[in-house]
Structure formats: structure tokens, C-alpha cells
Amino acid sequence: MSPDFLNTIEVILNGLMAGVMYSLVALGFVLIFKASGIFNYAQGVMALFAAMTLVGFQTGQVPFSHLINAVFGTSIHSFGWTLPAVVAVLLTVVVMILFAILVERLVLKHLVNQEPIILFMATIGLAYFMEGMGDLMWGSEMKILDVGVPQGGSLWLEEFTAGWATEGSTYYGMYIDRLDIVATVVAIVLVISLTLFSQYTRTGRALRAVADDHQAALSVGISLRKIWVIVWAIAGIVAMVAGIMWGAKSGVQFSLSLIALKALPVLILGGFTSIPGAIIGGLIIGVGEKLFEYGVGPLIGGATENWFAYVLALIFLVFRPQGLFGDKIIERV
Amino acid sequence: MKGLKAAGIAMVAALTSTTAVADLVFPSLSYRTGPYAVNGIPYADGYEDYLTLVNERDGGIGGVKAKVLECETGYNTQKGVECYEATKGEGALVYQPLSTGITYQLIPKATADGIPVHSMGYGRTSAKNGKVFSHIFNYPVNYWDGASHAVNHILDVNGGDIAGKTIALVYHNSAYGKEPIRTLEELSKKHGYKFTPIAVDHPGQEQKSQWLQIRRERPDYVLMWGWGVMNQVAIQEAANIRFPMENFIGIWWSGSENDVLPAGIKANGYKALTFHGVGSDFPIFDDIKKYVVDAGKAAGAGDQVGTVLYNRGLYAALLAVEAAKVAQEIHGTKDINAAQMRDGMEALVIDNAKMEALGIPGFGPEFSVDCGNHGGPGLGAVQQWDAEAGTWSLISDFAPSDMDVIQPLIDEDSSAFATENKIEMKECA
Amino acid sequence: MFYRQAGDFKSSYREDLQTFALKQDRWAYYALLVVAFLVVPFIINDYWASAVLLPFLILAIAALGLNILTGYCGQVSLGTGGFMAVGAYACYKIMTSAPDLSIFFVVLLSGAVTALVGLIFGIPSLRIKGFYLAVATLAAQFFLVWLFNKVPWFYNYSASGQISAPERTMFGWAITGPNAEAPVRYLFCITIVVLLAWIARNLTRGRIGRSWMAIRDMDIAAEIIGVDPLKTKLLAFAVSSFYIGVSGALFFSVYLGAVEVGEVFGITLSFLILFMIIIGGLGSILGSFIGAGFLVLVPVLLKNVMVNGLGWPTDIAAHIEFVIVGGLIMGFLIVEPHGLAQLWRLAKEKLLLWPFPH
């Protein structure tokens, strides 16, 4: 096989993996949109907040220490413990559930039955609020997130594939980041468990009922408020997973909240209402943008991924205006 | 709304009237929030701590207290403008915005207002030409020097011959990131290496394509012009593809602890350029501990002392204070204004004796500023990361850049700016 | 009691349809104009111009433009930053290639160039709707920023890759460049703002505006009653982009003076302007101003109170500022979901009847 061909395969594989990383973020959006019709602008900030909380617990940071020190003139920073990753993750899950309850109690409850754009705006406010709150609680310094996810290229794969190229050509074997493999496994587990949850549990069925028709669900006695809390809690946990995966690479810092931008084209391509759509949309975007950067990028100066993802989504949309898997838009007068 | 505005007017009026004190005002346009907070915090801490030290230990600059006016920009140009306007009326002596975008805003504004701007290792490179940019200073180094330093280092490692080698540049796809390209292209003509620029789009969390390209093409050296999250991800990805770290050289904005720590032990050997010393093994840090940290007067959380960017902030404040001292000497007055500060900056000389006296022997390069040259000789060094010990160390002396290549570029760009803005070239003695 | 309809008789349809139907409103409006044109220029200083009024006025133009597209015509756009960049770069290119052209026309021409670009990116709106349309405009946002950064022709091949506005004068006063005085810059902007707001108000309540709103409310129904969706939507894109382009040109030439495209006209600016019109009120001219005012003034005010007034550390103040702005947005929504303009409208209605609401 020629190295060019192998390189293309490598680009496609890595594109798929990158797509999975985008899907992880997009999943959180889809969950909330499906159950409540809210486009949750705060999803990215939630990922940042969850990751900060996780690291905070793990390293025994005192919440609000900076504020406390400034007000009382003390200098406390740390409880002086380090928690095992598992415990910290569980505690963060608890925090995200509490967060969901608070959001429902304080904000969403008052906005039932409003138009989507208004709910969208409420999440803008929420995003601002959380951005400030996260920094106040845990400080805006760089935090290193280490929950034991392996990173780096898979040596085994490199050695395994290095011999595939035709004799005499320079080829160094195929590269796949182990973090991406873990992310893929995590994404598969997430999707399967979400599917099982919504197919086979009582709450899951209630979720689907709400997604299908709010009013019908209410009329058969499903509590909309309870469902919203559950959905926001799940979205919070998904945000945490996305935060862990992306934060492992870059450390936990403000920019983590910008990963939401990478999820937007995925969402639009896959449709706002479909979980498989989020995954397949992610894969298409990932492969598309990587191939474009590989093939066309060098000719026009590179760094094309950001806009090409959107152009790709746009091309698909012209043929399917509701996204690949979105509910068909039926228009009547 | 009107009520709000009225309240605002009253407040601003009250504020401007209370600050008619004879302090020497150093505004610190810092960013402790936003996407680059990670880097902004240590820098702002260092800047403020040094001025606190001067006040506590020496009773001010020539007896006049220094005052830091901190204003949060969040690395946002609009907020930067707000901060500039809010502080300039309070006797601000010199602006050091730590943002290329804000520097570009300030170049015409501050020149018109007669307030000097010191963009240390960032900003507009051609501002080195003092004949055109009367109020803008960028000593001791600029980006084009940096590009040359990196190539010089590679030359040193290879015994002076790098013909046929390949050098890739991973850069932030913005005006900042594109700065070195011109210089590196010129240098590649001179030294015969092959140059490949590789752009990374903002913010740079996803760099798989770029590093796959590097892995395929195996350049001998990779340079990096990155900032913020791009640095951490690039170093992580370089480690992931097992690129030899000692062949990976970042600009000084890609060379702090924050950039290498997330990659852990795998970042060992990573190199970065610098223009000042590393670590806290200088006498001045004893004073900082004694007069600032232990006295509970440290800025921020007080936990950044000795980090790369803290030292940079400290160095920036130190150079400002030294320039203020020169200005006091020239003009024979303790209570200098911005115009006098500018004169002081233009006559600034930093030599080893002076650094020794200040408790920072060998901390920075020796340089002097004059009317035509606002950038000094452009000396820089290379630092290397030791992941085991968690410390940076200098692995070269402060060495000059290739001015034969850079000076024509500076002249060209500054004269273009002068024509576009109809600036008369100043005559220098 | 003091604010009422009684005694304000209308004797023609024209009077009945005027923008400020109440005498007091009219007087307040004229008073505001008098203050804006005759009082503010004499008391304004650099801080108020550069930190508060110029960004408020210029972003209000962008909000007006986006409100025409999103609020009146129902097409969600997230490309505002990119279109503002078009305005800014058009302004720079025209300024440098035609140094003698009056800056006023340069700004208008930049708007026209942006309108053309907006037309092109508006074409997908014929097929794609709602949130999905945002992708078309986001593609514009990222592509335009990338383009301006990549093609050196746009920044006249300067080594720095940034554009900076040379000095241009009007009637002998510098409007752009570092020597422009605060009152002059302010008057230049407010003239354009008042002019554009007046045009927008009259566009939106005329035939064109009604056809936009028909498309917004239900495009199929609108088509059946004879509104051509192609023309109407594209016209909305063109007009909206014109406003946004003018805003971008002013943002670059009068307000900032030097611009780096990715840093200034990035996606955050697009979001910021969308937030402005949602918070202010969709489909409301006043709402565009209130929204712009809210998001420009409140942070500055909070910062001044906390940092200068109370002496808090800047970082804590900045964090609390976010918390408060976010809290305020959510709070206002819970009180009045249709934006601040609606809150204002309701307050006026209540006041009309006060103190005897029954």
C-alpha cells in the first residue's frame, strides 16, 4: 500500500476520533433540547464548571478561597487532602445534580411554556452566571486534570501498521491517540446506557413521552419539572465527561468552555433532537474537516477546520433542512 | 437609564477628583479573567509585587511612592480601551498592556496623548524604530529577534550548518502568530533550510491535523508561536506523537510552567525562548519574600513567585522603575510626568553593574535604548524545561539576533506606517 | 396622573400613526435629541466617549441591523461579527485607496459593500430555517474572519496584519485617527445612529416591514398572500447587513482605530449582539438600544462601583460582574420574558392608568 493511501486512512481514522470528541459535547445539547426544547447555550460552561469542580475536589481546594481571603484577610487555599479520582468524580456528579435542581427551581420553573428563544436567552444568563461563579469558587488559574486517562500514540498500532507500506517508502506506522480510543469507548458506553435508560426504565419512558409531546405527557401524570431536573442532571454529567476528555489535553482553564463551538456544526448536521444524530454528525464533521485540511488546507494556507465544519454542515442542510436525523419539519398554514 | 448615567457621571467625577496625589502612577492593564487568565495572573502579580517592594523597601522611586492602578481587560480590546481612558487621566506614566491587540490600539492614541507604551516582547515589532514611533518602546526584544534567536540556537546545535534541514512553524492563526513568518523566510534564504508554516486556528484546542502533518513530514525542528490553550495542546500533541522535545522551541509566550505542566513528564526537554532569568534564585526574591509576601502584601494569591510569567511581570515593572529613575535624574524632579518618563525610557541603560545592584545579577540582557532604536540590541536566550524537577533553566547566554536580516524589515514596515499615517521622521542626534 | 392620554387629540390618520403617539413621549424624545446633540457634546470627555458612548452607539447600530433580520424578519443570524469585519475592512480599503473621499461616504459605502456580502450569505435562508439557519451565518462568521486574516490584500500587505485607521477629516475636524476629539467623534456617530434609527423605524412600519413580519410569523402563509419570500428575505439580509457594515466601519475607524480581525470581530461579538437584541426585545427599535445599553453600560457601571467605588480586587470584581450580569438577565426574564423593551412598554401602560388602574 502506498504511504499516501495509508496517510489518508490515518487522517480519516483520526477524523472519526475527533468526531467522537465533538459528539461528547453535542450529546449534552441534544439531551436538553429533546426533553425541553431549550437550546442550552450554557453547555460549554457547564463542562468547564464540572471539570473545575472535579479538580477542585481532587486536590482539596477550598471553594471561594480567593473571595474569603480577600474579605477576611486570611490565606486559606487548600484542605490539604487529595481525593482519589473516583471519589472526586462521584462528588462532582452530586454537584451537577444539585446544580440541575437549582436551575429548575430558580429559573426554569418560572419560564414554563415560554418560546424557545426566551429559554435560550435564560441559558445565556445562566452561562454568564456560571462563568463568574466557577471562577469565584475555584479561581481562574490553570488546573491540571488527571484522572488516569492514558494519552499518547498507540505504540502497538504503530508497529503493527508500519510494515504495511510498500517496500522502500518512508512510513512510520499509523497514529491513534489512546485518549481518543478511551473517548470512543466512553461515548459508546454513554450512548448505550442512555438508550437502555430511555427504553427500559420508567423514568426513561417518561423522558421519551415528554420529548414526544409535553402536554400529552403532562395529561397522563408525568411531572414535567421532575423530568427537567433529571435531564439537566444527565446533561451535567455528560458535560463532566466531555470536560474530562478535553481537559486532559489542555488542562482545565477558561478555554474549555469554548468546546461548545465545536459542537454547534455537529448539532446542526445531526439534528437537534437525535442522539444517534449527534454521534453520526460528529463523525461526519470530524472526518470532513480533517480530510479537507489534509487535502485542500495546504493549498489555501491551512487552519480551515473552523469554518469548513460549518460549510460542510451547510452543504448537508441544503439537502436536508432539518439535519440528518432531526424531526421532519412539516409546515402547514 | 438616565439615572444610571447620572450616577455614573457623578461617580467618575468623584473618582477623578480624589486622585490628585503626587504618586507615580503605573497602570496595570491586567487580565485575571477570560481565556488567557492563566497567563495574565502571574504577570500581573509580578508587576504589582515589584512596585510594592519598591515602596516598602525603598520608600518609593526616589522617595515618591509608586502606585499601581490595576484595570481588568480580560484580554478584550474594547475593555482595554476603557481601561486606558479610565486611567490615563490619573497621571499614568507608562502603559504595558500585555496584549498585542491592545498595544495596536494604544500606539496612535498614546502617542497623541504623549504617554509612552512599553510592549516588552510583544506588540508592533517595527516600533523599534524610534524615529517613527516616538512614544512606543519594545526593548529588550521583539518577535523578529525571537525568530532569529530560535534559528541561531538551531545553528549552534548543528555547528553552524543547517542547510537542507527542515523547520516547521506551528503558529496561532492571527496577526501575532504570523509575525515571525517573514523573518523565518528571509533567514531560510540565508541559511538554506526548508521552512513550513503550519497554522492553528483560534483557540487551538483541536490540533490533530497539524500534528499529524508534522508526524508525516518529520521536520527536524518545530517552532511555535502560540498563546493560551494552544500552547498546552500543542505540547501535549507533540509529546503524543513522540516528537523529540529538545527540537521543539516555543516563543517566550509559549514557555511558562502553565504550558508544560499539563503534559507532565512527557514535556521534559521542551525549549522556549526568553529574555530574562528563570527561577527565584536571585537576591531580589529574598526581598520580595521579606517585604511583600511575608508582610501579607502580595498581589493575587501570592503563590506565583518565581514562575516564568511572574518574573516577566517583575522584569517589566523593574524596567519601568529604572526608566523612571533615569527620568528623575534627567529632569531633576522627583515628580515626573509621562513626557519625562518617555525621555527616561529613551535614555535607559541596563548593564551588569546595575542588575547586580538591583539584586538580579545576570537576570536579563545588557541593553541600552536611544532615540532611533527603541528596541535595544535584541538579545535573547533559550530556556529548557526539566519535568522531573519542575523547573526551567537557561541553557544559553543572552545572544544577539541577526540584525542584517531584521533591520531592513523594520525599516520597511515602519516607513510604510509613517507614510500611511503621515508621520514626519524624527531626527536623531 | 402626570403621564396620560387625555387631552391629546388626534385629528388625522397621520397623527394617529406617529411613532410617539403621546405628547409627553414626543416631548421626551425631542428633549433627548436636544440633550444628545446640544448638551452631551459639551460635557463629553475621552473616557465617556471611548468607554461608554461610542461603543453603545456603534453596537446599537449593529443591534438595529440584527433586529431587522432576526426580530422583524425572523431569520436568526450569528454572523454579525463577520459582517462587521466586512464593514471594517471595506472601510479600511476605501479609506486608503481614496484618501480624499469624505469619511461619511466611506462609512456608507462600507455598509453597501457589506450589504452585497450579506446578500450572498442570505441565499441559504431560502431553504434553511430557524436555529439551523444560524449555521449558514456561522459559516460566514468563521470564513470571513479566516479570509481577512489570510489574504494580505485586505490589510495592504502590512507586516503586522492589523489595520489601523489613518486620519480623515470632515468640515476640518478629525473624525478618525488619534487626534479626533471626543465631541466630534460622538457627534459623527450619533448623527448616523439617529439617521439609521429613523430609517429603520419607517422601514419596519411600512409595507416592507409588514412583509418582513409576515415572513417571520409564517412564511408559507405570507407566500400565499403574495409576499415573495425570495425578495423579502434577501432584502432583509441586505438592509440588515448594511446596518451591520456601517457599524463595523465605525467600530474600526472611529471607535477602536486599529483592529485585528480575529480578536475584535470574533464569534463572541456575534453572540454579544444577538444577546443585545434578545435582552432588549426582538422586533423593537427601542429594544435594540436598550439591549446595547444594558450590555455595554452595566458591566462598566458594575466595574466602576466595585473596583473604584468599593476598592475590591479587579479579578473578584470581574467574576462578580459576570455573576450579576447573568443573574440580572435571568431575573429580567422571569419578570418579563419578552425583553426589556416590553418591560418598558408595560411600565408606560401602567403609568398611563396610575393611580386608578380600574
Among B173, B209, B307, the strongest candidate for a mutation testing the A interface, having the largest count of A CBs within 10 A, is B209
Average pLDDT over residues B360-389: 92
Among B36, B198, B206, the strongest candidate for a mutation testing the A interface, having the largest count of A CBs within 10 A, is B206
Interchain CB contact of B260 with A (< 8 Å)? no
Average pLDDT over residues A102-124: 86
Share of chain A above pLDDT 90, in %: 34
B377 to chain A, closest Cα gap in Å: 33
- Other Cβ atoms within 10 Å of A147 Cβ, number: 16
Q: Which CATH number belongs to the domain containing residue B299 in this structure?
A: 3.40.50.2300
Chain A residues touching C323 at Cβ < 8 A: 128-129, 132-133, 136
Tell whether the model's pLDDT for residue B6 goes beyond 80. Answer: no
Interchain CB contact of A64 with B (< 8 Å)? no
One domain, residues B305 and B184: no
For the CA atoms of C88, C94, C95, C97, what is the dihedral angle to 10 degrees?
A: 140
Chain A residues touching C139 at Cβ < 8 A: 307, 310-311, 313-314
**Contact criterion met (CB below 8 Å) for B151 and B194:** no
The amino acid that residue C205 corresponds to is R
At B302, the pLDDT band (50, 70, 90 cuts) reads: confident
Interchain CB contact of A175 with B (< 8 Å)? yes
Pairing, β B271-274 against β C258-259: unpaired
In a domain, B420, yes or no: no
The amino acid that residue A333 corresponds to is V
Domain boundary among B234, B250, B274: B274
Contact B205 A305 (CB under 8 A): no
Closest by CA to B324, choosing from B294, B344, B297, is B344
A35 to chain B, closest Cα gap in Å: 30
* Helix (H) and strand (E) counts in chain B: 14, 13
Cα dihedral sign, C272-C186-C261-A49: negative
Contact C138 A265 (CB under 8 A): yes
Give the pLDDT confidence score for residue B3 in this predicted structure.
43
| SS3 labels along B144-169 | HHHHHHHHHHHHHHCCCCCCCCEEEE
Among A142, A291, A310, the strongest candidate for a mutation testing the B interface, having the largest count of B CBs within 10 A, is A142
- Other Cβ atoms within 10 Å of B336 Cβ, number: 26
**Quick one: closest CA in B to C162, which residue?**
B175
pLDDT tens-digit profile of B249-271?
999 999 999 999 988 899 999 99
Give the Cα separation of B400 and B365 in Å (integer).
Answer: 10
In a domain, B248, yes or no: yes
Residue-averaged pLDDT of chain B: 89
Tell whether the model's pLDDT for residue B407 goes beyond 70. Answer: yes
Give the Cα separation of B424 and C223 in Å (integer).
Answer: 62
Domain boundary among B238, B255, B274: B274
Tell whether the model's pLDDT for residue B7 goes beyond 60. Answer: no
Domain boundary among B340, B356, B378: B378
Give the Cα separation of B75 and B30 in Å (integer).
Answer: 8
Give the Cα separation of B237 and B204 in Å (integer).
Answer: 12
Question: Can you tell me which residue has the cell 467574576?
Answer: C319
pLDDT tens-digit profile of B180-219?
998 999 999 999 999 999 999 888 888 989 999 999 889 9
For the record, the C-alpha cell of B306 comes out as 518565581
Interchain CB contact of A250 with B (< 8 Å)? yes
At B429, the pLDDT band (50, 70, 90 cuts) reads: low
One domain, residues B265 and B157: yes
Contact C177 B421 (CB under 8 A): yes
Interchain CB contact of B426 with C (< 8 Å)? no
Chain B residues touching A69 at Cβ < 8 A: 301
Three-class secondary structure of residue C163 per DSSP: strand
C261 to chain B, closest Cα gap in Å: 8
CA atoms within 13 A on the CB side of B74: 22
Q: What residues of chain B, 192 to 251, have a C-beta less than 8 Å from chain A?
A: 197-203, 205-206, 208-210, 212-213, 215-216, 218, 228-229, 232-233, 236-237, 239-242
- Rounded to a whole number of angstroms, the CA Rg of chain A reads 22
At B20, the pLDDT band (50, 70, 90 cuts) reads: very low
At B2, the pLDDT band (50, 70, 90 cuts) reads: very low
Could you state, in chain order, the average pLDDT of each consecutive group of 10 residues for chain C (358 residues)? 73 80 83 90 87 93 94 90 96 91 93 95 85 83 92 85 86 86 92 95 92 90 90 94 96 90 89 90 91 91 86 87 91 85 87 78
B173 to chain C, closest Cα gap in Å: 8
- Rounded to a whole number of angstroms, the CA Rg of chain C reads 21
Q: Name the burial class of residue B190, with classes exposed (0-12), middle (13-18) and buried (19+) by CB atoms within 10 angstroms of its CB.
A: exposed
CA atoms within 13 A on the CB side of A51: 33
**Contact criterion met (CB below 8 Å) for A124 and C276:** no
Q: What residues of chain C, 58 to 77, have a C-beta less than 8 Å from chain B?
A: none
Give the Cα separation of B113 and B116 in Å (integer).
Answer: 9
**Contact criterion met (CB below 8 Å) for A66 and A154:** no
What ipTM was assigned to the predicted interfaces of this complex? 0.90
pLDDT tens-digit profile of B140-172?
999 999 999 999 999 999 998 999 999 999 999
**Quick one: closest CA in A to B300, which residue?**
A66
Q: Which residues pair with B393 in a beta bridge?
A: B384
Chain C residues touching A317 at Cβ < 8 A: 124, 127-128, 132, 135-136
Chains in contact with B, where contact means 3 or more Cβ–Cβ distances below 8 Å, are A, C
Give the pLDDT confidence score for residue C1 in this predicted structure.
62
The more confident residue out of B225 and C307 is B225
The amino acid that residue C291 corresponds to is G
What residues contact A81, with CB distance under 8 A and at least 6 apart?
A60
Give the pLDDT confidence score for residue A306 in this predicted structure.
84
One domain, residues B212 and B295: no
Contact A253 B38 (CB under 8 A): yes
Give the Cα separation of A252 and B261 in Å (integer).
Answer: 12
One domain, residues B20 and B89: yes
Interchain CB contact of A172 with B (< 8 Å)? yes
Residue B201 lies in domain: 143-274
Q: What residues of chain A, 288 to 327, have a C-beta less than 8 Å from chain C?
A: 300-301, 303-304, 306-307, 310-311, 313-314, 317-318, 321-323
Q: Which residues pair with B29 in a beta bridge?
A: B71
Tell whether the model's pLDDT for residue A191 goes beyond 70. Answer: yes
At B367, the pLDDT band (50, 70, 90 cuts) reads: very high
Closest by CA to B250, choosing from B289, B287, B230, B224, is B224
Among B198, B205, B237, B243, the strongest candidate for a mutation testing the A interface, having the largest count of A CBs within 10 A, is B205
Cα dihedral sign, A229-A233-A234-A238: positive
At A207, the pLDDT band (50, 70, 90 cuts) reads: confident
Give the pLDDT confidence score for residue A139 in this predicted structure.
86
Contact A294 B38 (CB under 8 A): no
Instruction: Using CB atoms, pick whichever of B71, B77, B175 lies closest to residue C256.
Output: B77
In a domain, B428, yes or no: no
Judged by average pLDDT, the poorest of A23-32, A34-43, A97-106 is A34-43
Give the pLDDT confidence score for residue A61 in this predicted structure.
86
Interchain CB contact of C108 with B (< 8 Å)? no
Contact B228 A255 (CB under 8 A): yes
Instruction: Using CB atoms, pick whichever of A14, A135, A250 lies closest to residue B208.
Output: A14
Contact B229 A255 (CB under 8 A): yes
Question: Can you tell me which residue has the cell 529613575?
Answer: B325
Q: What residues of chain C, 233 to 292, have a C-beta less than 8 Å from chain B?
A: 255-260, 262-264, 266, 290
Give the pLDDT confidence score for residue A229 in this predicted structure.
92
Contact C179 B112 (CB under 8 A): yes
Question: Can you tell me which residue has the cell 477623578?
Answer: B16
Give the pLDDT confidence score for residue A333 in this predicted structure.
64
How does DSSP assign B190-227, residue by residue? HH--EEEEEEE-SS-S--HHHHHHHHHH--SEEEEE--
C132 to chain B, closest Cα gap in Å: 24
Which CA distances in Å does B263 have to A21, B6, B222, B239?
19, 52, 17, 7
Report the number of distinct structural domains present in chain B: 2
Instruction: Using CB atoms, pick whichever of B12, B32, B126 lies closest to residue C315.
Output: B32
Give the Cα separation of B203 and B207 in Å (integer).
Answer: 10
**Residues A108-116: contacts with CB within 8 Å, 24+ apart?**
A108/A36, A108/A38, A108/A225, A108/A228, A109/A225, A110/C334, A111/C333, A111/C334, A111/C337, A112/A224, A114/C337, A115/C337, A116/A37, A116/A38, A116/A39
Chain C residues touching A128 at Cβ < 8 A: 322-323, 325-326, 329
Element housing A87 (H / E): helix A85-106
Give strand ranges (E) for B379-428.
Answer: 381-386, 391-394
Q: What residues of chain C, 94 to 133, have a C-beta less than 8 Å from chain A?
A: 124, 127-129, 131-132
Angle at C123 between CA C205 and CA C225, to 5 degrees: 45
Tell whether the model's pLDDT for residue A108 goes beyond 90. Answer: no
Average pLDDT over residues A66-82: 80
C277 to chain A, closest Cα gap in Å: 10
Instruction: Using CB atoms, pick whichever of C51, C255, C257 lies closest to residue B86.
Output: C51
Give strand ranges (E) for B215-319.
Answer: 221-225, 248-250, 271-274
One domain, residues B155 and B243: yes
What residues contact A96, with CB distance under 8 A and at least 6 apart?
A46, A50, A233, A236, A237, A239, A240
Give the Cα separation of C56 and C54 in Å (integer).
Answer: 5
One domain, residues B137 and B26: yes
One domain, residues B58 and B115: yes
For the record, the C-alpha cell of B42 comes out as 502571574
Interchain CB contact of A177 with B (< 8 Å)? yes
Give the Cα separation of C7 and A179 in Å (integer).
Answer: 75
At B5, the pLDDT band (50, 70, 90 cuts) reads: very low
The more confident residue out of B129 and C161 is B129
**Contact criterion met (CB below 8 Å) for B118 and B112:** no
Which stretches of A139-177 are DSSP H helices? 155-162
- Other Cβ atoms within 10 Å of A13 Cβ, number: 18
Among A249, A266, A294, the strongest candidate for a mutation testing the B interface, having the largest count of B CBs within 10 A, is A249
Give the Cα separation of A40 and C91 in Å (integer).
Answer: 36
For the record, the C-alpha cell of B401 comes out as 539576533
Contact C46 B85 (CB under 8 A): yes
Q: What residues of chain A, 201 to 220, have a C-beta less than 8 Å from chain B?
A: none
Chain C residues touching A129 at Cβ < 8 A: 322-323, 326-327, 330
